[in-house]
Amino acid sequence: MTNSAYNPDVLTCLANLSSDEVFTPPQLANEILNHLPPELWSDKNARFIDPFCKSGVFLREITKRLLVGLENEIPDRQKRINHILQNQVFGIAITEMTALLSRRSVYCSKNANGKFSICDGFADKDGHIRLKSVEHAWAKDRCAYCGASKEAFDRGDALERHAYEFIHTEKPDEIFNMKFDVVVGNPPYQLSDDGAGASASPIYQLFVQQAKKLNPRFLCMIIPARWYAGGKGLDEFRAAMLKDSGISRLVDYPVASDVFPGVKLNGGVCYFLWERERVGDCEITTRMSGTEDSMVRRLDQFDIFVRFNKGISILEKVLAKKHRYLSDQVLSRKPFGLDTLKRPTGKGDVTLYANKSVGKFEEAAIVHAKEIIGKWKVLLSMAYGEGGEAREYPRMITGRPIVAPPPSACTETYIVVGAYESRIEAENLASFLRTKFVRLLIALRKNTQHITKDRFAFVPALAMTKEWSDKKLYAHFGITEEEAAFIETIVRPMEVERE
């Protein structure tokens, strides 16, 4: 039987613009707004801005809350609506389409002064949800504000230039010439370097940095979680976020599709609450596969952000042993000076491990690390992402280690985790890397597909004269049954491939 009273929220049904510009579901928008102080909803002087409107969902839900909270102070409903929309709720759209959509969501009309607008006090069609056409500020071949490629985005008015107004100014407070109590929203995540999506650079950090220039009382934003480990354009941003004691809450979703159905975002997403008047530790909540756990701790407890609260006790036990770490022995990117395009030539005595191929190669063509060509080596693929967005854990975390007999080398498709004189030490390192314990420690530093030298900075460099297993490692580090059970939820077993 059909429920005739069912009235679906159209904003729950929107298809996303792309994985770069993701619409926020109403449920998530309200979850984020719930972290703001309740008294804001009955403050007729509080001002709110979403500087990167897509669907207008944040402004719509804020308006609904104010409409209830101000009922006693402004009893007349129309006067209350006019007051809220003319004095308290502001937005900056990111495209012409999102401007129209946001106005429709907030004003119930694509024109703020239209016949069907719920606010009868606007003189122009934009109301307080503006879209201004701005240009990139080209400095040679890149935009000085957002880093966009001139070749890709200097393309006139026929195509979207993605020159977002909010981050293309030194003084964002002059856009509306007023102070805001709350900045909230879901910014664009990245910008394609070539305009076609083949490669992209993150830009969400620019929106966070710009929002802080507004000096609001509260800042709430949902962003990709890749900043936890730094990387492309994110190292300085990570350092600043970890040191920022104004961040009071961080909610982490390792699987992005838990909150953005159908969206693939390698590394997951998070949202945070920043409070201008606060200094202290952060309440960190991880939500995954229907479970939730929270812990109050410092964001800068480690040099990167460790996302799994339940991994902290394990990591502390490892660090307490004061071993050296595997990152000290892992060779840097492109260990033999050979890029990914290099292939075996079929000539020479060296076995070359390359992208999807293994074969003979000339030793004379190898320019670096010649001293380990004659050693037994353990290789790992430099990129391993299980498709980037598996729906659930446990995951493999890394590819299978390869034991490469001498004489051998590899292209930058692989990293060299260790090089030994004896075969047994190399095989023991390979079995060590296959343990769930070691892959958990790698996972604590890895939330993108890339496996670099830095990812091994929590992995102890134990003696490889003996074979290690999870059982032996758990005993060595005093891992409890509860901690072992947590490892099982994150890391899948890796069976040995038999010849």
The fraction of the chain above a pLDDT of 90, given in percent, is: 77
- Band of residue 413 on the pLDDT scale cut at 50, 70, 90: very high
Is a pLDDT exceeding 60 seen at residue 18? Answer: no
Question: Among the residues of 108-227, which ranges form H helices?
Answer: 150-153, 204-213
Strands in 289-366 per DSSP E: 291-297, 350-354, 357-361
Query: What's the CA gap between 415 and 398, in Å, rounded?
Result: 12
The fraction of the chain above a pLDDT of 70, given in percent, is: 92
Q: Decide: 423 and 432 in contact? Cβ < 8 Å.
A: no
- Longest distance between any two alpha carbons in the chain, whole Å: 87
Q: Decide: 58 and 33 in contact? Cβ < 8 Å.
A: yes
Q: pTM of the full predicted structure?
A: 0.88
pLDDT for position 359:
97
Q: At 460, which amino acid appears?
A: P
- Residue 27: CB atoms within 10 A of its CB come to 12
Q: What is the CATH number of domain 10-307?
A: 3.40.50.150
- Band of residue 194 on the pLDDT scale cut at 50, 70, 90: low
- Residue 439: CB atoms within 10 A of its CB come to 24
Query: What's the CA gap between 436 and 472, in Å, rounded?
Result: 12
Please tell me the total number of residues recorded for the chain in this structure: 499
In the block, which residue shows the tokens 């939500």?
287
Can the peptide bond before residue 394 be classed as cis, meaning omega within 30 degrees of 0?
Answer: yes
Strand-strand pairing, 282-288 and 350-354: unpaired
Backbone angles phi, psi at 120, to 5 degrees: -105, 20
Is a pLDDT exceeding 70 seen at residue 148? Answer: yes
Average pLDDT over every residue of 411-426: 97
pLDDT for position 232:
77
Tell which residue, 80, 84, 83, 82, has the closest CA to residue 71: 80
Give the tokens for residue 209: 């940095």
pLDDT for position 157:
66
Strands in 209-311 per DSSP E: 218-224, 247-253, 269-275, 282-288, 291-297
Would you say the C-alpha torsion 351, 352, 353, 356 has a positive or negative sign? negative
Strand-strand pairing, 48-53 and 89-93: parallel
Would you say the C-alpha torsion 5, 9, 12, 17 has a positive or negative sign? positive
- Band of residue 406 on the pLDDT scale cut at 50, 70, 90: very high
Q: Decide: 127 and 200 in contact? Cβ < 8 Å.
A: no
Give the tokens for residue 198: 């083949």
The secondary structure element, H or E, covering residue 184 is strand 182-185
Average pLDDT over every residue of 450-479: 96
Alpha-carbon separation of residue 118 from 3, 80, 430, 433 (angstroms): 28, 11, 66, 62
Q: At 272, which amino acid appears?
A: F
- Band of residue 20 on the pLDDT scale cut at 50, 70, 90: low
Backbone angles phi, psi at 365, to 5 degrees: -85, -5
Please tell me the least confidently modeled range out of 113-122, 229-238, 335-344.
229-238
pLDDT for position 454:
92
- Band of residue 115 on the pLDDT scale cut at 50, 70, 90: very high
Q: At 397, which amino acid appears?
A: I
pLDDT for position 17:
58
Give the tokens for residue 473: 């490692």
Q: Decide: 278 and 246 in contact? Cβ < 8 Å.
A: yes
Mention every residue, 6+ apart, whose C-beta is less than 8 A from residue 208: 187, 219, 221, 223, 237, 241
Strand order in the sheet with 376-381: 402-404, 376-381, 414-420
Tell me the pLDDT tens digit for each residue of 361-403. Answer: 999 999 899 999 999 999 999 988 664 444 578 899 999 999 9
pLDDT for position 10:
58
Alpha-carbon separation of residue 168 from 56, 154, 237 (angstroms): 21, 15, 18
pLDDT for position 50:
97
How is the chain split into domains, by residue range?
10-307, 316-490
Q: Decide: 486 and 311 in contact? Cβ < 8 Å.
A: yes
pLDDT for position 242:
95
- Band of residue 265 on the pLDDT scale cut at 50, 70, 90: confident
Strand-strand pairing, 89-93 and 129-130: parallel
Is a pLDDT exceeding 70 seen at residue 103? Answer: yes
Give the tokens for residue 482: 């509860």
pLDDT for position 6:
47
* CB-count burial class (<10 Å; 0-12, 13-18, 19+) for 486: buried
| Residues pairing with 410 in the sheet | 353
Give the tokens for residue 435: 């343990």
Query: What's the CA gap between 372 and 380, in Å, rounded?
Result: 16
- Band of residue 410 on the pLDDT scale cut at 50, 70, 90: very high
Q: At 175, which amino acid appears?
A: I
Tell me the pLDDT tens digit for each residue of 319-333. Answer: 999 999 999 999 988
Is a pLDDT exceeding 80 seen at residue 166? Answer: yes
- Band of residue 411 on the pLDDT scale cut at 50, 70, 90: very high
More confident residue, 8 or 318: 318
CA atoms within 13 A on the CB side of 370: 6
- Residue 447: CB atoms within 10 A of its CB come to 22
Q: Is 423 left (phi over 0), alpha (psi -120 to 50) or beta?
A: alpha
